[in-house]
Amino acid sequence: MVNGSGSSIFDIQLDKIDDDWSKPFPDLDYAIISDGHWFFRIMYLHEAGKLVGCLFCPEQNVTHYNSDYILRMAFRAAFKHINRCNKCRKTLTLFRTFAPAHFENGAWNNGGNCNRTSPINEGEVNYGLFDWQLRNIQMEEFERARNRGKKKGQRFEVVDVSRAMLMRPDGHPSEYWGNQWMKGYNDCTHWCMPGPVDMWSELLLAVLKREEANKIMSF
C-alpha cells in the first residue's frame, strides 16, 4: 500500500494492500496491474507498523534499498493478496510489464534527451539495461503468482510490452511536452506519440480474445 504525502515522498506498507483497490477487486471482470516509474523517488518502507528501510532517503540509520527490491516486494504483495482472495476467482488479472524510459546523454535532470525520430531494430537494443532487469523481476513474481494461482482457480495473463518498447525511443514527447512547471527538462518516460500505446491496446485486445476463446473451449 502506498500513501502519498502530497509531495514526491511516499510511504509504502509492504504487508498491506490499499483498500481503494482491494475492496472493489472481487467485483471486477478484468483488472490490470502495471507500475514501474513510481519506484524512483523517495520512499519509506514499513512492515508491521515499523520503518524497515527506505529509497533515496537522507537518513543514515535506516537500511537503504534499491528500486528493484521495492518493485519486487510491491508486486509480490499485490499478487499474494489476489491469490489469497477466494472471491477474486472470476477476475482476470492482467499484468503489464515495465515500459522503459529512453534518456540519452544524461538523466532527466541533467541534460538527458530522447531526440530520435524513428524506432531502432532489435539488434540495437541493450538488454543489460536496468529497465530490462526490472521487467524480468516483474515476470519472476508474475510467474510465481500464476503458478500458485492455478491451484486455486485464479486467472492471470500478461501483456509484455517491454521488449517492443525498448525499440521505440522515438515514442516520447522529449522537449515538446509543453510542461509549464519543469521547463528545460525532456520527457523521455511518457508515451505520447502515435504508435507505442496503440500497440499496447492491440496486445491487450489479443490477450482478452485469447482468454475468451479459452473459456468457450472449456465449456
The predicted pLDDT at position 37 comes to 85
Let me know if residue 133 belongs to a domain.
yes
Q: Which three cell numbers stand for residue 161?
A: 510490452
**171 vs 213, which has greater pLDDT?**
171
Let me know if residue 40 belongs to a domain.
no
The domain tally of the chain equals 1
When pLDDT is cut at 50, 70 and 90, the band that residue 2 belongs to is very low
Mean pLDDT for the stretch of residues 32-46: 90
When pLDDT is cut at 50, 70 and 90, the band that residue 3 belongs to is very low
pLDDT exceeds 60 at position 90: yes
Let me know if residue 7 belongs to a domain.
no
Tell me the pairing of strands 155-159 and 92-96.
parallel
Measure CA of the first residue to CA of the last residue in the chain; give whole Å: 38
Let me know if residue 3 belongs to a domain.
no
**36 vs 64, which has greater pLDDT?**
64
pLDDT exceeds 80 at position 140: yes
Mean pLDDT for the stretch of residues 112-137: 93
Contacts of residues 178-186 at CB distance under 8 Å and 24 or more positions apart, as own/partner, are 185/108, 185/109, 186/103, 186/108, 186/112, 186/113, 186/114
Let me know if residue 8 belongs to a domain.
no
Let me know if residue 56 belongs to a domain.
no
Mean pLDDT for the chain overall: 89
Name the percent of the chain lying above pLDDT 90.
Answer: 68
Using CA atoms, how far residue 201 sits from 50, 149, 151, 159, 160, in Å, is 40, 25, 29, 9, 12
Mean pLDDT for the stretch of residues 150-157: 92
Q: Residue for cell digits 517491454?
A: 162
pLDDT exceeds 50 at position 166: yes
The predicted pLDDT at position 50 comes to 95
Structural domain that includes position 115? 17-35+67-218
Which of 177, 174, 189 shows the shortest CA–CA distance to 99? 189
The predicted pLDDT at position 7 comes to 55
Mean pLDDT for the stretch of residues 66-94: 93
